[in-house]
């Protein structure tokens, strides 16, 4: 494991913000390494002094606050806590979780600060100024393998204390206190909590960080020396992707969960090795890399046969049994939807109700699958028993993380969990539509002929840009596969791609221009709808929105090829509304006009058209009944209304978005 430490950066942090800034710096070094810390895992602390309003000094523990992530933590993420108060708490014989959290709040020296980590008492009891705790993959993988505790003891010797797994919080703090009662802390560099993680500590920030890196590297090197990657399990050739089976699985999973969900399929090397493993079913159901992951992934995964819905039903039954065996009267069963599973000989499936949650599940599973494979090759994967996993999954302090205000549903994101496919998504109305649907919580597959489609949305994880010629059947089919594989299905289809041919009278109209307009403005839309219908039938509140044109209702001379194609599209939309209504699929059409913030309208063209009317450009843009300018965002807002459920009782409609055109009216 590479050290990210920089003496120059550390010195600058110390000079600008003191030791707390240095604590932030080293915490971020740990947090940005996913092999050490994933999604809020791990915690760090610093012991120092703080001043009261009376000018008195108080021994203080600055410890990571609940809800903060080490990857991005700031000084405000380290609430100051009365160190002596915490140490006195550590001497109590018993302290319930509710009492502990109350006492941690009482121990705060700043009442506006976040709640201290549940490990705060343990940090207080470790007699070193800097304490680092991670869920290092390498160390936890070793502890989860057959004979792992003995291996770790041999590997680390007297430098590291190896302790059996204990629930986090007060119980763990007491365990460490009792185990180290006679310990010479000056000779101890770390503590391994089996199946959980690694603590390192020192008087100096760099020493504590380096101890973490060195000990983890030792574990990584040991694993590399024991496991020969050239002798890994053979990978069965990837079976063809069955997008309808996958969409059906996602739909049924959403029914189990009670709202739309996203599903993704990973077909990377490790996932395929796992999916081809003869014991894949047993391994995926055995347990996670560390019990902290259970609140995100549940304690075990599902096994999906070629027809995967049967595997979903089996998981629901298994989880119900698991809950029945371990639950107490005060518990309330969580939803039965799996968060991941192995699709035999196809890959690893992940589920979540939002993209944010899906990303967390994907990241955790991406570390869990190779760890399980490694554990098997080290003699057998041996995670914690389900009794311990249940205790963590249903631990009130863990569940509180999922119920925090920051995780509450945003009512403005009414399309959360839904998948949209938008054509012509790289510019104009299509681009505005993509952004509007994303703002409402949807994930979007944006198709466009332009090369920029694949890079335009970089940095926007809710959008998968795909370069695609919608007149090419193979490209469209491939794009739909990619969309379903990434997000699980299609709920919203916005068929927007098109072009406006150059003006030609009927006497001048060439066959090539006519054929091109019909191909893109009519045939491509119809073919795309046909391919998406089976997926829309498996969608949540499925909706189709066609982007038509004012020319359907009020054609003009010189636009026969365009007007005829768009009129044909309007008829296809009406027929689709009639044919698909029985499956709950709504089909509506929008007819924009005079939308000038698109690539079609250059400054030169606007100047020319305005001059022809003897008007300024601004007046020309408002040449409608409402005397208002119509933008791509206005059309996108109308798309959003039809894509959601606000107009859920409307289908087969044709709505102009034009500021009022006297010929249309």
Q: Which residues are catalytic?
A: 562
Full DSSP string of 82-100: EHHHHHHHTTSS---HHHH
Which residues, 6 or more positions from 416, have their beta carbon under 8 angstroms from its beta carbon?
Answer: 259, 260, 353, 354, 409, 410, 441, 442
The secondary structure of 490-558, three-state, reads CCEEEECCCCCCCCECCCCCCHHHHHHHHHHHHHHHHHHHHHHHHHHCCCCCCEEEEECCHHHCCCCCC
Across the chain, how many H-helices and E-strands are there? 24, 18
Identify which of 181, 76, 176, 178 has the alpha carbon closest to the alpha carbon of residue 131.
Answer: 176
Opening angle at CA 513, ends 510 and 517, nearest 5 = 140
Residues in the chain: 665
Opening angle at CA 416, ends 412 and 421, nearest 5 = 115
Q: For residue 413, what are the CA distances in angstroms to 117, 354, 409, 592, 634?
A: 30, 10, 8, 25, 18
In the three-class reduction of DSSP (H, G, I as helix; E, B as strand; rest coil), residue 235 is classed as: coil
Opening angle at CA 623, ends 504 and 521, nearest 5 = 40
CB 276 within 8 A of CB 233: yes
- Provide the sign of the torsion angle of the four alpha carbons 577, 433, 471, 455, taken in this order: negative
- Provide the sign of the torsion angle of the four alpha carbons 115, 121, 124, 126, taken in this order: negative
CB 315 within 8 A of CB 414: no
The phi-psi region of residue 391 (left if phi > 0; otherwise alpha if psi is between -120 and 50; otherwise beta) is alpha
Q: What's the CA gap between 238 and 345, in Å, rounded?
A: 7
Tabulate helix, strand, coil % of the chain (nearest 5): 45, 15, 40
Q: Residue 609: enclosing H or E segment and its boundaries?
A: helix 603-612
What count of other Cβ atoms lies within 10 Å of the Cβ of residue 479? 25
Q: What is the maximum alpha-carbon separation in the chain?
A: 101
- In degrees and rounded to multiples of 5, residue 381 shows phi and psi of -80, 120
CB 348 within 8 A of CB 265: yes
Q: Which residues face 656 on adjacent strands?
A: 591
Name the residue with tokens 């191909």: 519
- Provide the sign of the torsion angle of the four alpha carbons 536, 540, 541, 543, taken in this order: negative
In the three-class reduction of DSSP (H, G, I as helix; E, B as strand; rest coil), residue 461 is classed as: coil
Q: What's the CA gap between 286 and 574, in Å, rounded?
A: 52
CB 134 within 8 A of CB 212: yes
Hey, what are 310's tokens?
């049967």
């Amino acid at each position: 494991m590479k050290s990210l430490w920089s003496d120059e950066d550390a010195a600058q942090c110390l000079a600008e913000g003191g030791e707390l800034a240095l604590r932030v710096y080293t915490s971020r070094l740990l947090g940005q390494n996913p092999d050490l810390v994933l999604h809020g895992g791990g915690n760090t602390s610093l012991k120092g002094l703080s001043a009261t309003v009376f000018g008195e000094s108080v021994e203080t523990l600055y410890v990571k606050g609940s809800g903060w992530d080490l990857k991005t933590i700031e000084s405000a993420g380290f609430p100051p806590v009365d160190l002596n108060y915490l140490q006195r708490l550590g001497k109590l014989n018993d302290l319930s979780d509710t009492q502990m959290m109350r006492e941690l709040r009482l121990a705060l020296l700043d009442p506006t600060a976040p709640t201290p980590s549940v490990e705060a008492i343990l940090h207080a009891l470790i007699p070193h100024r800097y304490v680092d705790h991670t869920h290092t993959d390498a160390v936890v993988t070793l502890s989860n393998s057959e004979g792992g505790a003995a291996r770790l003891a041999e590997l680390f010797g007297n430098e590291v204390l190896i302790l059996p797994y204990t629930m986090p919080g007060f119980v763990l703090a007491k365990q460490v206190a009792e185990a180290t009662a006679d310990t010479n802390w000056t000779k101890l560099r770390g503590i391994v909590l089996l199946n959980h993680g690694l603590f390192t500590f020192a008087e100096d920030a760099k020493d504590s960080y380096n101890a973490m890196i060195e000990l983890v590297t030792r574990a990584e090197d040991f694993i590399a020396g024991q496991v020969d990657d050239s002798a890994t399990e053979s990978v069965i050739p990837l079976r063809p992707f069955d997008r309808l089976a996958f969409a059906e699985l996602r739909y049924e999973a959403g029914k189990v969960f009670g709202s739309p969900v996203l599903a993704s399929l990973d077909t990377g090397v490790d996932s395929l090795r796992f999916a081809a493993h003869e014991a894949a079913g047993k391994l995926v159901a055995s347990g996670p890399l560390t019990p902290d992951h259970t609140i995100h992934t549940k304690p075990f995964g599902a096994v999906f046969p070629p027809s995967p819905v049967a595997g979903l039903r089996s998981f629901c039954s298994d989880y119900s049994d698991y809950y029945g065996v371990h639950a107490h009267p005060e518990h309330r069963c969580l939803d039965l939807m799996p968060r991941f599973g192995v699709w035999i000989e196809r890959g690893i499936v992940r589920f979540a109700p939002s993209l944010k949650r899906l990303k967390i599940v994907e990241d955790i599973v991406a570390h869990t699958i190779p760890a399980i494979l490694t554990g098997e090759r080290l003699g057998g994967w041996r995670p914690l028993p389900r009794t311990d996993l249940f205790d963590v999954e249903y631990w009130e302090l863990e569940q509180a993380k999922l119920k925090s205000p920051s995780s509450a549903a945003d009512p403005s994101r009414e399309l959360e969990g839904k998948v949209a496919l938008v054509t012509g998504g790289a510019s104009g109305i299509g681009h505005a539509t993509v952004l509007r649907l994303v703002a409402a919580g949807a994930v979007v597959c944006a198709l466009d002929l332009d090369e920029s489609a694949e890079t335009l949305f970089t940095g926007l994880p809710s959008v998968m840009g795909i370069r695609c010629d919608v007149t090419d059947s193979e490209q469209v089919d491939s794009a739909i596969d990619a969309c379903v594989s990434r997000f699980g299905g299609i709920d919203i289809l916005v068929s927007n791609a098109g072009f406006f041919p150059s003006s030609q009278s009927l006497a001048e109209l060439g066959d090539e221009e006519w054929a091109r307009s019909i191909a893109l403005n009519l045939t491509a839309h119809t073919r795309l709808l046909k391919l998406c219908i089976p997926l829309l039938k498996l969608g949540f509140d499925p909706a189709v929105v066609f982007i038509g044109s004012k020319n359907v209702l009020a054609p003009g001379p010189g636009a026969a090829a365009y007007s005829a194609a768009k009129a044909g599209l309007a008829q296809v939309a009406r027929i689709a509304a009639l044919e698909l209504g029985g499956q709950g699929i709504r089909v509506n059409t929008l007819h924009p006009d005079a939308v000038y913030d698109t690539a079609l309208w250059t400054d030169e063209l606007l100047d020319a058209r305005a001059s022809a009317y003897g008007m300024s450009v601004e007046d020309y843009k408002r040449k409608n009944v409402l005397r208002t300018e119509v933008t791509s965002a206005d059309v996108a807002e109308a798309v959003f209304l039809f894509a959601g459920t606000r107009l859920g009782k409307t289908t087969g409609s044709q709505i102009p978005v034009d500021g009022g055109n006297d010929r249309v009216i």
